[in-house]
Every structure is written in C-alpha cells, then in structure tokens.
Structure 1
C-alpha cells in the first residue's frame, strides 16, 4: 500500500521560507483563514502569541505550507526557535536538467540561496546549495 506524505522543514521564519520555496518550485502557499484565526483567539482557543503577521495578514505563528498546483504534494514549514547547526539528514533534490542547472543555480543564488559545491558520480552530476535558512538541497 502506498502512503501519502509531506516533507516538514523546521525553521525560524516559516512564512518567509514557505514563500521562498513556493517560488523556487512553482508551487502555491496555502492560504490561512484570517477570520478563523481571529475567531479562535476571540473565543480563547488560541492566544495572540500563537499568531503573527506576514505580508499584512494575520497567520498562525507555528507555520506555513506550500502545495503543488496540480497534486496533493505538500511541504510544511514549521517554526522552531533554534537555528540550524548541522547538515540535514534529509534534503530535497530538484530536477532541472543538466542544460538548465547553471542558470537555475544562478537564479537561486540571486534569490538568497548559497552555492556549496558541484559533485558527480559516474554520469550523474549535481549542485548542492542551501536555502536562506541554511537547509541543504540539490539541483540535478
């Protein structure tokens, strides 16, 4: 039996990082219902400390998600006050094609990614970068 899953990324700025990854992958940031959030706070089910403002809207402080525009694929960016300190044990590989790899690397670096190194194994090659919070990912 196949299972559906999402990738979850701990980060200090989940809404900003969700925006960055949504643009990188061509996905959509999931909207959050501002009226629902206000209602939950007004009824005492949540506190103001559990909310924040992002791009002028009230959102849950705990995180933000992005979704593939045509499928149920999803990434969740979850608030964690501690900064990343060691290498990821899991990372995302983005397949852009060898002919596009240099241009995509340059675009990502211009948007805040950091290029770490180029690597290869047999006929396969890739670039390893980090997102603006230091999470490693590869483009192939």
Structure 2
C-alpha cells in the first residue's frame, strides 16, 4: 500500500518468531489464538514451477507441500496480525525482548492457562500489579507469553 505525495504509506504488521520447528510452532499458535495455519501449497507450487524455489526449499507435511524453513498462522477474520514462524539454527538462550500478551479477562485466566498447557505451553510464573494479574508461560520452544 502506498500513500500519495503527502500521505505516508501505512505498513501492515506481522509478528515473526524464530524457532527450531516452524510447523509445530505454527500449529501451536494457531490453536492458541484461534488462527489457521496458512496453506502455502499453491504459492510453493508456483514458485517451484517458475524456478524461484527448489525441492530443497519445500517438504511435505500431512500430505501438503510446505516451506521447509517457515510456516505462518493467520487470523481467519484478517484482523489480528499474521504470525510468521521461521527456522533459525541457534537455540533460544535468553528471555525474549518481545512477547505476546493474550488478554482473556480475569475470570478466564486460569482456564486459558490450563488450555494452553494442554497445547504444550508451560507455566513459568505469575505477576500482579494492583488488581491486574498475569501468568507468564512459554510456548513449546520456550518463547515467553503472558495470559491476563
């Protein structure tokens, strides 16, 4: 999207998460957020046919052609940011500088934490400031998130 001469372009936003297994992470985050794992097979086939990608760039997962080193989870309503999960060679070693906060309301925090634990998240701690309470968790690869 580009603006006119006096109007700057408004960028869209996606959140990128480095990980070891982008497909498993995309499945976790899709389930956690009510997103869908993005179907990239049509694009991957076009890129292969055009010579922009090779067989080394793709693999089959669950009978579907996917990018070997990346996956994405998308809000089916198109309102919330897309999550792009990319494979990186190094493991996570320190606390994330950016994390997702999942706001469900005080009455649903405990049930949401339990649901996320069922998906593979791990409870890492809890915080409180005045009436605000949050639970710090990690996704299956150790990336932090908070539930409040």
User: Aligned to 1:96, what secondary structure does the other structure show?
Assistant: coil
* Aligned mates of 2:75, 2:47 — CA distance in 1: 28
Taking structure 2 as the reference length, the TM-score comes to 0.85
Aligned to 1:26: 34
Q: Deviations over 1:73-92 (max 9, x none)?
A: 21111111221111000000
Unpaired segments of 5 or more residues in structure 2? 1-7
Tell which deviates more after alignment, 41-50 or 75-84: 41-50
In structure 1, the residue matched to 2:4 is: none
The reply on whether 1:48 has 2:87 as its aligned counterpart is no
- Deviation per residue, 1:79-128 (Å, 9 max, x gap): 11221111000000001111111111111112211100111012211000
Question: Kindly tell me: are residues 41 and 70 of structure 1, through their superposed partners in 2, closer, same or farther at Cα, counting changes over 3 Å?
Answer: closer
Say if 2:145 is the partner of 1:137. yes
TM, length-normalised to structure 1: 0.89
Which of 121, 143, 148 is 1:113 aligned to?
Answer: 121
Q: Which has the larger radius of gyration?
A: 2
Equivalent residues, number: 139
Match of 1:66 in 2: 73
Q: How far apart in 1 are the matches of 2:126 and 2:138? A: 13
Over aligned residues, Cα RMSD in angstroms?
1.8
